[in-house]
Amino acid sequence: MDSVEDIKSRLDIVDLVSEYLALKPSGQGSFKACCPFHHERTPSFYVSRNRQTWHCFGCNEGGDQFSFVQKIEGMEFREALEFLAQKTGVELPKFDHEKAGARKRLFEVNDLAAKFFQNTLQQSPGAEVARAYLKKRGLDDLTVDLFKLGYAPSGWTTLTDALLKKNVTADELIRAGLSSTREQGGGTYDRFRERVMFPIQDVHGNIVGFTGRILTDDKTQAKYVNTPETAIYHKSSMLYGLDKAKGEIRQKNMAVLVEGNMDVISSHQFGVCNVVAASGTALTQDQLNLIKRFTQTLVIAFDQDAAGRNATMRGLDMARAQQFNMKIIQLPADAGKDPDEAVRKDPEIWKRAIADAMPIMDWVYLSAFRGRHPEQPQDKKLIAHEILSEVRRIADPIERDHWIKRLSRELDVSEQVLQEVLGATRADPVPAIPRASASTASHTPTDPITESEKRLLACALSQRELWDELTAVLHFESKEFRDPELQALYACALEAYALPQNPAVRQGAFPASIPHASSDNAALLQTMSFLAERDFAPLSLQERRHELYRLVASARDRFVTDERQRLAEEMRQAERVHDDARIAELTKAFGDLQIKRDSLRPIVQGSG
């Protein structure tokens, strides 16, 4: 047994999910709750103890213990594997324990440092200036404790001396970025001194580094000092506050991105908890990948000076390529210079600003005019080029025409001239959004026809006797499904049930798997299994049979109607070219369709 199967055998999925959700019984071995991955009032999230799987009929997500932990915790598979292995006591195969141990040790050293800084802030008389600063910024004790804020005291080796007593070596302090080597005389000294300390935690809450803010107006020192790049800290891969915000981001399906740590902390204190910070860096690909674990909706609130705008645009280019749904926050002029000031002035200002975030194109348009004079030729040119470079990215011609007309009016420039400029304006290419395949487009939870067809197949597979009636009595064919994915699964199931040695063929049992099924078919089969348990397990055989026949009649009526339309078009074409042989063939096909429909009626009536 490999590690994955060993973990699954030791960890009941109901017990695991119950650690995150309040599950309620829903049939034999089945439990339900409101889905943690999308908004809903009526529970559509189901967990099956019999199958050790979960599925949500609302967002169509599902899987096993590993996929649940990956999604709920925002973990990659390896992280989920290690997380569940530790929970179940399974020893994973050796991979690189020395490297993993070194990383773990750096986490431990940073945690010891954070506790030292916290203790200093709370108890040291020398930290009064830091306590006064945090009070002036409006932070309460609960928030200070939640974000593990601390204070690095004066003295060149205060932290070093304290941690050496806790068996931390000088080399470990250097590798953690907490100490630096003296250029002369040997030894080390503390990197952070006389600063308010902001621990930086990764998405799982591990402390990977620190930001220290100076409390004086000393222009000879940097206002902020950060941990240098280490084995566990890469600034471009971090989002401050994500460990605390990820649940709210997933719940609200929206991440609010700000610039500074204080913007995040103040927002959380006043109940706006889906906020994270890029910590002074332009938005990076790694940061977008982190956000994408929890949402595809990104609302940005960077400072609107030239640097802030440029940072926003660079981030938008990358986010656009990943198909994020993006908006830009514009704070009112009297709200303060940043979200921290706005939320401390009045939390409702910040909440309204988030709710009123504007689409990218509106923001680009306003930003292009800001500080410029459209009556002056040079400014008129800059405005046009800035806006048109974004207009080029708009795929819809009606929307493009809207912005060109608006720009023409406000710049007093003809649309023809703007079209010429548009043709010459450069814009970085944006990857095209792939068109959905026919199967993907039709396979949506809200499509009533697809849902009806799913119920038909789930009902038939819920009991072998019903499957036999569907195939041998009703002579149902895969082409009678309108959904291509269900056609493929049905054809696959027909082949599987035709093999007597197949363990899936058991009286009264829903097949756990179908041999040779594709990954898509296997995933759809899991959806069918939950649908069967949810809707048909409580019913008697006669009640299931009645429902199956009703669903088959409905599907066959749709199929015959669609086929008749197709044949009618082919008949018209055949008549145009006087193809008598084809006309005779199509006439027979019309008759066969009617026979197929009529033959079902007495069977359906008999099932009632």
The CATH number given to whatever domain includes residue 101 is 3.90.980.10
Two structure tokens written together for 75: 């973990």
Q: Are residues 10 and 77 in the same domain?
A: yes
Q: Are residues 227 and 241 in the same domain?
A: no
Radius of gyration of the chain (CA): 32
* Phi/psi at 366 (5° precision): -65, -40
Q: Are residues 123 and 264 in the same domain?
A: no
Assigned domain for 542 exists: yes
| Angle (CA) 444 559 601, round 5° | 120
Residue 525 to residues 192, 373, 444, 457, 554, Cα–Cα distance (Å): 57, 62, 15, 10, 22
- DSSP three-state, residue 234: coil
What is the per-residue DSSP string for 35-79? -TTS--SS--EEEETTTTEEEETTT--EE-HHHHHHHHHT--HHH
Measured distance CA(459)–CA(437) in Å, rounded: 27
Bridge partners (DSSP) listed for residue 180: 189
Measured distance CA(287)–CA(255) in Å, rounded: 12
Residue with the two structure tokens 């023409």: 408
The reported pLDDT for the residue numbered 434 is: 36
Two structure tokens written together for 67: 């996929």
Q: Are residues 284 and 401 in the same domain?
A: no
Assigned domain for 307 exists: yes
Assigned domain for 432 exists: no
The reported pLDDT for the residue numbered 506 is: 46
Assigned domain for 433 exists: no
Q: Are residues 454 and 596 in the same domain?
A: yes
The reported pLDDT for the residue numbered 123 is: 95
Are 32 and 46 contacting, i.e. CB atoms less than 8 angstroms apart?
yes
- Residue 75 sits in a domain of what CATH number? 3.90.580.10
Q: What is the largest CA-CA distance in the chain?
A: 104
**3-state secondary structure string across 535-561:** HCCCCCHHHHHHHHHHHHHHHHHHHHH
Q: Are residues 194 and 295 in the same domain?
A: no
Two structure tokens written together for 143: 């928030």
The reported pLDDT for the residue numbered 202 is: 92
Last residue of a domain, one of 52, 69, 88: 88
pLDDT in tens, 218-275: 878 889 999 999 999 988 889 999 999 998 998 888 999 998 899 999 999 999 999 9
Q: Are residues 469 and 387 in the same domain?
A: no
The reported pLDDT for the residue numbered 603 is: 58
Are 75 and 83 contacting, i.e. CB atoms less than 8 angstroms apart?
yes
Q: Are residues 341 and 287 in the same domain?
A: yes
Residue 41 to residues 38, 143, 534, Cα–Cα distance (Å): 10, 31, 18
Assigned domain for 553 exists: yes
Q: Are residues 124 and 171 in the same domain?
A: yes
Q: Are residues 118 and 167 in the same domain?
A: yes
Q: Are residues 42 and 172 in the same domain?
A: no
pLDDT-flagged residues of the chain (< 70): 1, 94-100, 185, 280-281, 302-315, 424-447, 498-520, 598-608
Domain count, the chain: 5
The reported pLDDT for the residue numbered 220 is: 81
The reported pLDDT for the residue numbered 608 is: 54
Q: Are residues 216 and 247 in the same domain?
A: no
Assigned domain for 32 exists: yes
Helix axes 541-576 and 448-461, enclosed angle (nearest 10): 130
Domain housing 163: 97-231
**3-state secondary structure string across 434-466:** CCCCHHHHHCCCCCHHHHHHHHHHHHHHCCHHH
**Closest to 399 in 3D by CA, of 354, 365, 436:** 365
Last residue of a domain, one of 303, 334, 355: 355
- Provide long-range contacts, Cβ within 8 A and 24+ apart, for 48-52: 48/13, 48/529, 48/530, 48/533, 49/12, 49/13, 49/14, 50/533, 51/512, 51/526, 51/529, 52/8, 52/12, 52/13
Assigned domain for 124 exists: yes
The reported pLDDT for the residue numbered 99 is: 60
